Amino acid sequence: MKIAFAGKGGVGKTTLAAWTADYLARQGKNVWLVDADTALSLGQAAGLAKEELPRPLIQRKDLIEERMGAGIIQLNPTVEDLPERLAVDIPGDGPGRQRLLVMGTVTNAGGGCACGANGLLKALLSHIVLERDEWVVVDLEAGVEHLGRGTVQGVDGLVVVTEASRRGLDTAASIGTMAMELGLENQALVLNQVPRGVGVEGVLAEGVSLALPSFPGLRDRQLNDTRVVGLPEQWAIDTGVERLLALLS
């Protein structure tokens, strides 16, 4: 199953993606984690040190030229070998294997044509999503950039994450609408970091599939540690991930 996580910045989509991959690995599933967000924080959230992160594909100019060509751009580059070649393993407590791929994002301001880099990124992501019969967790760019490019049309489920705010819900609604236009009908809307004592009955009527509280263990760790896995609230987190996966199955 392939699951993409979307939402505006700061709502916890990367955290939820890391929790989902960690849960699956502890259940014995092998998981590909694909960091397609500019922030490039999925690896550290999942437990890797900064120096252990793989080099983003977008920075591999040699590889981009090798697969896409220096002149005429290849429309169908060979990418089948790249996941194993570029990924690094993420340590974990479960029997399943977690492997991280870092994509990076093209910005073309002031530069030349980025067609080759964009083409290779899209081809690799499409290969992982459409051609690999494995669990895949994709952390998307904040907002709707990847959805706009149609790079995740083949995912089995889309998780749209928002915090408990009107602005967050409006952004989530825009993402969900664009995804529906691309044919991504299997969606779950997650209301994250709900403060204690705040009722969610009103927003549940707006299509919220799952509400997650603000976890003190995560708040206390954030200043000193980039990892979001292995928190004191593991049982509650696992329960939330189980519900999320059930909603998408």
- Domain 2-248 superfamily per CATH: P-loop containing nucleotide triphosphate hydrolases (3.40.50.300)
Q: What pTM was computed for the model?
A: 0.89
Banded pLDDT at 20 (limits 50, 70, 90)? very high
- Taking residues 193-202, report their average pLDDT: 66
User: What are the pLDDT digits (tens) for 35-77?
Assistant: 988 888 999 999 999 999 988 888 888 888 888 877 666 677 8
pLDDT at 110: 40
- Name the pairing type of β-strands 98-102 and 88-90: antiparallel
CA distance 192 to 12: 7
- Is 60 exceeded by the pLDDT of residue 249? yes
Residue 28: CB partners within 8 Å, gap ≥ 6?
94, 95, 96
Rounded alpha-carbon distances, angstroms, from residue 104 to 41, 126, 199: 11, 15, 38
181's tokens: 């236009």
Comparison of pLDDT for 146 and 67, the residue scoring more: 67
